[in-house]
Structure 1
Amino acid sequence: MSTVEAPTKKRAQISARTLRTDNWRRYPLFVVVVFTAWVAYATVRAMMGDYYWVDEYHYLSPFYSPCVSESCVEGSAHLGTFLPKLPFFIPFAAISLPFLLLFRLTCYYYRKAYYRGYWASPSACGVREPHKKYTGERRFPLVAQNLHRYFWAAAFLISLVNTYDAILAFHGKDGGFGVGLGTLILVANVVLLWGYTLSCHSCRHIVGGRLKNFSKHPVRYWAWGVVSKLNERHGQFALITLGSLVAADLYVALVAGGAISDLRICN
């Protein structure tokens, strides 16, 4: 009679760091380069305090929306200036940018991206974990990741403000209706931001979670289906909106600074 050895509790002994043959380093490297460049650009622009408003066409940079400081130039404060003049290290849009940053920082897609890119925890699937311990997201500060659903609610409200800004951008030279290239860029940015916000996992749970019977809630079931389809592209929206935010801000800055003239389609 042959004896069967008891299964071992030890992990498989693999001498190589990974058995993967593809270029798995490309994704974490891409994350580090793109995220670092974006954070640097966004920080400089948010703290610059200039070239964010084109009064002639009512273009407002998304990095300054809503502009609520007394330092805001005339016409750019759509919700009023209920904050005093702020020091240079506090952005004019002080009530929105922190929540938007926390919304993205706690996003499921971004967690995967910066965990792999900056912390190498791990760098990729099938790659040896370099850290000796893993405590998950149960301790400070990572336990704050669980607040993502609340940051989503704030981002939803701010998206409404961005939508209002885009509507105001349909402004002509004589004060009537007008459309320019800046209008289209700001509208496209808002559409993409809505795609990112509504494709969030928290949004999917809000519209369809805690239901025991979908047939009794046809409207919520339909909404859940739509959000579920968007959710499949959540990572793509997360990356695309980084580019659309920079494009919208840069275009407004160039027009506001006089470097280029807005290409007008009508009026």
Structure 2
Amino acid sequence: MTATLPPPESSGATRARLPIRTLRTDRWWLGPVLTVAGLTAFLVYGLLRAFQQDHYWVPEYHYLTPFYSPCLSASCEPGSALFGTFPWAFPWFIPYAVISLPLLLAFRFTCYYYRKAYYRAFWQSPTACAVREPHGRYTGETRFPLLGQNLHRYFFYAAFLISLINTYDATNALLHGENGGFGIGIGNIVLFGNVILLWAYTLSCHSCRHVFGGRLKSFGDRPFRYWMWTQISRLNTRHMLFAWITLGTLVITDLYVALVAGGVITDLRIFN
């Protein structure tokens, strides 16, 4: 006859009290450390470039860095404000892309993957599986600044619109070669490569998947929505990969435009 143990609540049992933080022997700390380093490096670079307000536009080829798109200050370089500007020049502490940058930052800040990444890396909640938290209690997303995390579904629409603007920027650059006509240079490849990957990250978002498949009880009479939901679901499995790759391509694209605009390097033309 097998003895049956009483349930924990009746026996007064509690969680095991371990004298050490974890019994894990692998390098569980490496992932959070790399996450902190990667996100911090991107934020520092992005802030410095957003407030530099220089070397963001190459008039010869109409290269515009995504960190300044759309350029909305009256002091934007001639030709760089493809959608018009406000009637005044921005002070140094307001980025030229004053609308798009905060919305894109909010989209990534509330992204399901990034939430997991910085919860573990910065707030250590938890740092890793089977690793004791340093916090005395768990409050979830019930306190500031996490109360607005569910706004992610709305930030998705803003990110979708900004991706369209970035696509327009890249296409516009194709139409302004060295002689004023169609042309392709390394900068065009960099811009389009970045746009394609930004679309991959945006469309692989869980909110995008919900747009096509959410609130439906059956796909039976909606074959197009089912097809779209299926394709987005395939992208969704690589959402984390696209989240990191696009941080890198944003920096590479901005750095390339800055170097060409500053005269440090010359854009290699493939076709003019």
User: Does TM, normalized by the shorter one, top 0.5?
Assistant: yes
- For residues 204-223 of structure 1, the aligned pairs below 5 Å read 204-223=209-228
Residue of 164, 178, 182 corresponding to 2:187: 182
2: CA distance, partners of 1:48 / 1:55: 18
SS at match of 1:265: strand
Distance in 2 between the 1:3 and 1:212 partners? 46
Secondary structure, in 3 states, of the residue corresponding to 1:216? coil
Given the alignment of the two structures, is residue 242 of structure 1 paired with residue 247 of structure 2, yes or no?
yes
Query: Partner of 1:7 in structure 2?
Result: 7
Cα offset, 1:4, TM superposition: 4.5
How does the TM-score come out when normalised to structure 1? 0.97
Tell me which of 177, 196, 201 is aligned to 1:196.
201
1:101-121 deviation digits (Å, cap 9, x = unpaired): 000001111111111111111
CA gap of 1:83–1:225, structure 2 versus 1, over 3 A, is farther
1:259 aligns with 2:264: yes
Counterpart AA for 2:243: A
**Pairing of 1:23-34 with structure 2 (within 5 A):** 23-34=27-38
2:141 is aligned to: 137
4+ residue runs over 4 A deviation: 1-5
Q: Secondary structure at the match of 1:28?
A: helix
Write the mapping of 1:69-148 to structure 2, written as runs, cut at 5 A: 69-82=73-86, 84-148=88-152
For residues 83 and 5 of structure 1, the distance between their equivalents in structure 2, rounded to whole angstroms, comes to 75
Equivalent position amino acid for 2:143 in 1: R
Deviation of 1:2 after TM superposition, in Å, equals 8.8
The amino acid that maps onto 1:123 is: T
For residues 20-59 of structure 1, the aligned pairs below 5 Å read: 20-59=24-63
Question: What is the DSSP-based 3-state SS (H/G/I as helix, E as strand, rest coil) of the residue aligned with 2:138?
Answer: coil
- What one-letter code is carried by the residue in structure 2 that aligns with 1:150? Y
Deviations 1:64-92 (A, max 9, x none): 00001101000000000125211101100
Change (3 A) 1:26 1:7: same
Deviation of 1:21 (Å): 2.4
Residue type of the alignment partner of 2:189: L
Structure 1 window deviating more from structure 2 (134-143 vs 184-193): it is: 134-143
- Structure 1 residue identity aligned to 2:247: L
Distance 2:204 2:120 in 1: 22
Deviations 1:20-68 (A, max 9, x none): 2221111100011111111111001000000000000000000000001
**Map of 2:66 onto structure 1:** 62
Amino acid at match of 1:125: C
3-state DSSP class of the match of 1:12?
coil
Count of aligned residue pairs for this structure pair: 267
TM-score scaled by length of structure 2: 0.95
For the residue of structure 1 that corresponds to 2:220, the secondary structure is: helix
Question: Using a 3 Å threshold, how does the CA distance of structure 1 residues 7 and 163 change in structure 2: closer, same or farther?
Answer: same
In the other structure, the counterpart of 1:232 is 237
Paired AA for residue 7 in structure 1: P
Which ranges in structure 2 are unaligned for 5 or more consecutive residues? none
**What is the one-letter code of the residue matched to 1:200?**
C
1:254 match: secondary structure: helix
**1:160 partnered with 2:160:** no
| Code of the aligned partner of 1:51 | H
Identity value in percent: 63
AA aligned opposite 2:220: S
| Alpha-carbon distance, 1:145 to partner | 0.4
Superposed CA RMSD in Å reads: 1.4
> Structure 1: which amino acid aligns with 2:178?
K
